[in-house]
Amino acid sequence: SLFTYTPVISDPDKGAVLSLRVVQPSWPSAENLGMRGRPENDDVGLAEFSAIVSDGMDSVEFKGYLEVANVNDPPEIADIRGLGENGLNWKDDSTRGFTITVKDIDANDSILFNGTALPDFISLTSIEVNIPAFTFTFTARPLQKDVGSHNLIFRFMDIDGEPAVHK
């Protein structure tokens, strides 16, 4: 989320034009004698900041600490292999496998799969975890009774319930 900070700055010299420059960290910028920026996941944690205020003649550096808290980011479907460009076109009594890779940039997050919207001839056969990616491998073996069109909905959620859906 957006971070803003406006320090109280004064100069005893009448009419002095003040400027602010952020030295560190790299993500906030100086705007109107304040700091503004949007930290990313890599910025989570405690970080020292420093900024310099100048009136053109003299300058002063001020330092402090920022603590950036993590917010949950939803998982994203990163890759789908084996489904084909036009969806699933399988023959009955044949087995086919496919994979869906889901990524979540949050540290220590897990991905859950909800397969309640899948036909019974598709099953989850394995999960490979290579943080931040989770690769789900599915096997499908439609029978003669399964001939026809099916709507496939794959729902993946992180542990906070944020969804990633593929239809």
**pLDDT tens across 143-157, in order?**
999 888 888 888 899
Averaged pLDDT, 45-73: 88
97 touches 149 (CB < 8 A): no
Q: Is the pLDDT of residue 130 over 70?
A: yes
Q: Is the pLDDT of residue 18 over 90?
A: no
Of the listed ranges 10-19, 80-89, 108-117, the least confidently predicted one is 80-89
pLDDT in tens, 94-129: 888 899 999 998 877 889 888 777 898 999 999 998
Distances (CA, A) of 22 to 5, 65, 100, 129, 157: 11, 13, 43, 40, 38
